[in-house]
Amino acid sequence: MTAIHQWRPHTPPGAHPVLDIGGDIGALIVYLPELTASGELTVQPAGNPAGHFHTGVHERGDAWVAIFPEMVEGDYELIDDEGHWLADVTVTGGEVGELDLR
């Protein structure tokens, strides 16, 4: 089971979120320059706006971080609060991808 609820703002150094990945399930960590207006970040499967989902953005040291803890491998579009494209990302099963937008 995904335990992303353990990821908290101001988590002590050295603490890590728990991710449930393997097989065709991967995860994505996105580093942002600032907190989004909604406090969330959205992704959608490439070309499928109806399949969008979001996660919270939390302060982590000197960065704002969004973690998508459990994603089916494939191509995704990262979307901002106004629905504008930010980046294309590919998630690989069994791996944790990172995208730095700072």
The count of structural domains within the chain is 1
* Structure confidence at residue 12 (pLDDT): 52
- CATH number of the structural domain spanning residue 32: 2.60.40
List the domain range (segments joined by +) for residue 65.
4-100
Q: What is the pLDDT of residue 61?
A: 85
Predicted local confidence at residue 52, as pLDDT:
95
Instruction: Please identify every stretch of the chain with a pLDDT value under 50, giving residue numbers as ranges.
Output: 1-10
Phi first, then psi, for residue 49 (nearest 5°) are -55, -30
Of 72, 93, 76, 65, nearest in space to 4 by CA: 65
Beta carbons within 10 angstroms of residue 35's beta carbon:
13
pLDDT for the residue numbered 62: 84
Predicted TM-score (pTM) of this structure? 0.82
Quick one: pLDDT at residue 8? 43
